[in-house]
Amino acid sequence: MALPEQAHAVLGHPVRRKEDMRFIQGRGRYLDDIVLPRMAYLALVRSPYAHARIRSIRVDAAKAIPGVLAVITGEDLEELGLAWMPTLAGDKQMVLAVGKVLFQYQEVAAVVGETREAAVDGAQAVEVDYEPLPVVVDPFRALEPDAPVLREDREQKTNHIWHWEVGDREATEEALRRSDVVIRERIRFQRVHPAPLEPCGCIADFDRITGRLTLYVTSQAPHAYRTLLALVTKLPEHMIRVISPDIGGGFGNKVAIYPGYVCAVVASMMLGRPVKWVETRTENLTSTSFARDYHMMVELGATREGKVTALRVKTIADHGAFDASANPTRFPAGLFSICTGSYDFPVAFAEVDAVYTNKAPGGISYRCSFRVTEASYLIERAMDILADELGMDPAELRRRNFIPPEKFPYRSALGWTYDSGNYVAALDRALELIGYEELRREQEERRRRGELMGIGISSYTEIVGAGPSHTFDIAGLKMFDSCEIRVHPTGKILARFGTRHQGQGHETTYAQIIAHELGVSVEDVLVEEGDTDTAPYGLGTYASRSTPTAGAAAAMCARRIREKARKIAAHLLEAAEEDIVWEEGRFIVRGVPGKSVTFPQVAFAAYTNPPPGMEPGLEAVYYYDPPNLTFPFGTYVCVVDIDKGTGQVKVRRFVGVDDCGTVINPMIVEGQIHGGLTEGFAIAFMQEIAYDENGNCLSSNFTEYLIPTAVETPRWELDRTVTPSPHHPLGAKGVGESANVGSPAAFVNAVVDALSHLGVRHIDMPITPWKIWRILREHGITE
């Protein structure tokens, strides 16, 4: 459809999202919309126990149900060498339980039926005899010497998985000892879940005649899936095609490979029919990758004047039954070492110990570049605690300790080279927008009246765009990304990418980048992602990496095309190549403005009239390996009022000033920030994947794991500063996750600020009315 007013709008313009044409009309093609001839359905039998030995599995009753085609158990998979699969974190995970189960809802058997109903009935008829074992849900208990060892398959007979540390332990110890003030706090980032609206699923279609497997799957990283499937199933990689159709939200939940996918592949190979598996909401919440679950002990030293001197962090990471996190190989705790944040720490030390418990596996990066949310929350909370200790305004404390703009590129105490930043500019703008001074006066006034009002600040720094391949790989695959551009003779463009959007708007923003580079309209560029048979190899979309990697690849690939086009333009204009300049979207003969050709004219010549000796056609592919990560940042300020009678927190205002460098599409960036803030709000106030002492998951549906609606969600007031990345071809930094990373601390800081005069220093999330009500009563505050 023509969008005439957009015809020449390119970089930096709020171009309406091309993909929304189909999404808002219900014409997206999601996994469950796909129906193949002779397709069968798969359902999983799951454990009701968090820890139990399996005495027996009886499948006869299930097989007798009309419409049941097959039942697969762990023992069947063992024969195929597929009972266990490798995780992206270098651990292994049971596909179907063998011997024992390690978390509630663990996959125990798979039933395939002619219909979904037959498969579910069959699953219910599978009889499993369990012998319950002692359950460990607390990671600290898991580390005690007498704790039951959960993973009997490992040589190491403890629940400790790995230890990771970074920084200078001795120098940090010494600096803390010499500090005038040291604050210490135990801060927990609770277990949460990405909870995309569309759950995970796949259709495995193995063609017995050709020997080819097509896997339609909700995957954020289709190429990585293809390679890993080839390695696990031993099918030749060129005989596997992974198609990732439209995806209804991923947020990191669709990076890992889940047992259901492997079972569907096995079932399709067994039956010679396509097999679909789509999980339920409860299966999604209880068995697929969770996020966070970090228990962090922070110590922050400072001078009495409020200059930070040292940071030390000790973290226990609860990974559940299998270490199924999705971090780059060299970083088992992700990029947690960004925990020095926006501040100029002379020295720091961080260590993380990962632990097995009887909970669902994972530890993935939910809308976060690998444990950056935990790090950002930690430092932004700690700075507020320090401000409280020093009796200093939290904005002033931040200002005193920011890495100053002239210090970039800045090498942090924990080893990162921040590419660029201007933290004070974002803070100043946010404080101005919210009217900070006036609010502080109002707060004093209200306190005198016995009212509870708080102001919370978070000046976050992110690290996104993994990554330079010398340092970053997942399962050995280097973390570059790619773009392929095919220019058709009429100047229209097909561009394909190794990334895979899940609602982020790539079909629009990538088209904007290419249109900007080649002087064509956004409408003339069709963007495709998600089919490994057609797209160039790439590592996928997560960790806000698409713009820093594939977005850069788009620009570089277009420039490669332009270089060839310039030669063709010289031929058409009968001028020397060095006299051809690219200006305002045209090739012009230097000094002769009237003598020019447009990009479509050149494209036509590439197929109809190429210069003698030149290879015809106009296509290119570019694999972009970024020289560094990008470091977006911003300041959020939140104002809350607390109802003393109910403990209810009302977010009165929330101002966000983000900086993601050059903005490709301000409307899409704003949408990304709205989404991230809404998720951050939900995490701060209502969400937790909780367990009872028997390992029963207490958050298995949306009545227990709450999703904010428009009714609860605050109004977001946004602005931005622009500090371009010096190494990205367009100066852009990633933004998809900034708001989820930076906002939880702003909400919590605001609530604690409202209660700080009572002596409250910290409250763990989620901050429910009940928690606040109890705190108020403990401090003798009633209505």
Active-site amino acid positions: 220, 367-368, 737
Under the binding rule (CB under 6 A), the answer on residue 669 touching ligand CDP is yes
**Which residue in 459, 450, 398 sits closest to 754, CA to CA?**
450
Of 62 and 735, which CB lies nearer to ligand CDP in the complex structure? 735
Least Å from the CB of residue 550 to ligand CDP: 8
Under the binding rule (CB under 6 A), the answer on residue 663 touching ligand CDP is yes
Of 111 and 514, which CB lies nearer to ligand CDP in the complex structure? 514
Chosen residue from 159, 672, 678, 723 binding ligand CDP by CB under 6 A = 672
Cα gap 624→559, rounded to integer Å: 13
For 278, list phi and psi in degrees, rounded to 5: -130, 125
Under the binding rule (CB under 6 A), the answer on residue 506 touching ligand CDP is yes
Cα gap 627→635, rounded to integer Å: 26
Of 110 and 732, which CB lies nearer to ligand CDP in the complex structure? 732
Of 353 and 462, which CB lies nearer to ligand CDP in the complex structure? 462
Cα gap 195→252, rounded to integer Å: 10
Under the binding rule (CB under 6 A), the answer on residue 687 touching ligand CDP is no
With contacts defined by CB under 6 A, name the span among 56-64, 537-545, 592-600, 774-782 that binds ligand CDP. Answer: 537-545
Under the binding rule (CB under 6 A), the answer on residue 541 touching ligand CDP is yes
Least Å from the CB of residue 458 to ligand CDP: 19
Least Å from the CB of residue 11 to ligand CDP: 9
Please count the residues of the chain. 783
**Which residue in 282, 364, 366 sits closest to 328, CA to CA?**
364
Q: Using CB under 6 A, which residues numbered 92 to 131 contact ligand CDP?
A: none
With contacts defined by CB under 6 A, name the span among 228-236, 308-316, 584-592, 729-737 that binds ligand CDP. Answer: 729-737
User: Which residues pair with residue 403 across a beta bridge?
Assistant: none
Least Å from the CB of residue 735 to ligand CDP: 4
Least Å from the CB of residue 424 to ligand CDP: 21
Task: Report whether 109 contacts 128 (CB < 8 A).
Answer: yes
Least Å from the CB of residue 484 to ligand CDP: 18
With contacts defined by CB under 6 A, name the span among 278-286, 292-300, 421-429, 540-548 that binds ligand CDP. Answer: 540-548
Chosen residue from 139, 306, 551, 714 binding ligand CDP by CB under 6 A = 551
Chosen residue from 260, 680, 714, 734 binding ligand CDP by CB under 6 A = 734
Both tokens assigned to 306: 């409020």
Least Å from the CB of residue 653 to ligand CDP: 25
Task: Report whether 358 contacts 142 (CB < 8 A).
Answer: no
Question: How many of the chain's residues bind ligand CDP (CB under 6 A)?
Answer: 25
Of 343 and 716, which CB lies nearer to ligand CDP in the complex structure? 716
Under the binding rule (CB under 6 A), the answer on residue 665 touching ligand CDP is yes
Q: How many Cα atoms sit within 13 Å of 543 on the Cβ side?
A: 32
Under the binding rule (CB under 6 A), the answer on residue 254 touching ligand CDP is no
The DSSP string of 631-700 is --EEEEEEEEEE-TTT--EEEEEEEEEEE-BS-S-HHHHHHHHHHHHHHHHHHHHT----B-TT--BS--
With contacts defined by CB under 6 A, name the span among 29-37, 499-507, 710-718, 750-758 that binds ligand CDP. Answer: 499-507
Both tokens assigned to 330: 């060299």
Task: Report whether 179 contacts 303 (CB < 8 A).
Answer: yes
With contacts defined by CB under 6 A, name the span among 37-45, 222-230, 293-301, 734-742 that binds ligand CDP. Answer: 734-742
Chosen residue from 42, 735, 739, 741 binding ligand CDP by CB under 6 A = 735
User: Which residues pair with residue 48 across a beta bridge?
Assistant: none
Element holding 763 (H helix, E strand): none
Least Å from the CB of residue 497 to ligand CDP: 10
Cα gap 117→75, rounded to integer Å: 25
Under the binding rule (CB under 6 A), the answer on residue 728 touching ligand CDP is no
Under the binding rule (CB under 6 A), the answer on residue 373 touching ligand CDP is no
Task: Report whether 315 contacts 377 (CB < 8 A).
Answer: no
Q: How far is CA 196 from CA 46, 229, 252, 661, 670, in A?
A: 21, 24, 9, 28, 20
Maximum C-alpha span of the chain: 89
Of 111 and 552, which CB lies nearer to ligand CDP in the complex structure? 552
Under the binding rule (CB under 6 A), the answer on residue 673 touching ligand CDP is no
Cα gap 81→270, rounded to integer Å: 15
For 584, list phi and psi in degrees, rounded to 5: 45, 45
Under the binding rule (CB under 6 A), the answer on residue 325 touching ligand CDP is no
Under the binding rule (CB under 6 A), the answer on residue 546 touching ligand CDP is yes
Q: How far is CA 491 from CA 17, 475, 511, 561, 601, in A?
A: 22, 39, 14, 12, 7
Q: Scanning the structure block, which residue is given the tokens 């392929």?
A: 484
Under the binding rule (CB under 6 A), the answer on residue 509 touching ligand CDP is yes
Task: Report whether 618 contacts 603 (CB < 8 A).
Answer: yes
Under the binding rule (CB under 6 A), the answer on residue 668 touching ligand CDP is yes
Under the binding rule (CB under 6 A), the answer on residue 167 touching ligand CDP is no
Cα gap 289→78, rounded to integer Å: 24
**Which residue in 124, 117, 116, 94 sits closest to 106, CA to CA?**
94
User: Which residues pair with residue 207 across a beta bridge?
Assistant: 212
Axis crossing angle, helix 394-401 with helix 372-390, rounded to the nearest 10: 110
Under the binding rule (CB under 6 A), the answer on residue 504 touching ligand CDP is yes
DSSP three-state, residue 334 = coil
Of 516 and 733, which CB lies nearer to ligand CDP in the complex structure? 733
Chosen residue from 89, 242, 732, 746 binding ligand CDP by CB under 6 A = 732
Under the binding rule (CB under 6 A), the answer on residue 727 touching ligand CDP is no
Of 466 and 746, which CB lies nearer to ligand CDP in the complex structure? 466
HEC profile of 12-27 = CCCCCCCCHHHHCCCC
Under the binding rule (CB under 6 A), the answer on residue 660 touching ligand CDP is yes
Cis peptide before 113 (omega within 30 of 0): no
Of 125 and 663, which CB lies nearer to ligand CDP in the complex structure? 663
**Which residue in 275, 199, 253, 207 sits closest to 30, CA to CA?**
199
Of 253 and 443, which CB lies nearer to ligand CDP in the complex structure? 253
Residue ranges binding ligand CDP (CB under 6 A): 501, 504-506, 509, 541, 544-547, 551, 660-665, 668-669, 672, 732-736
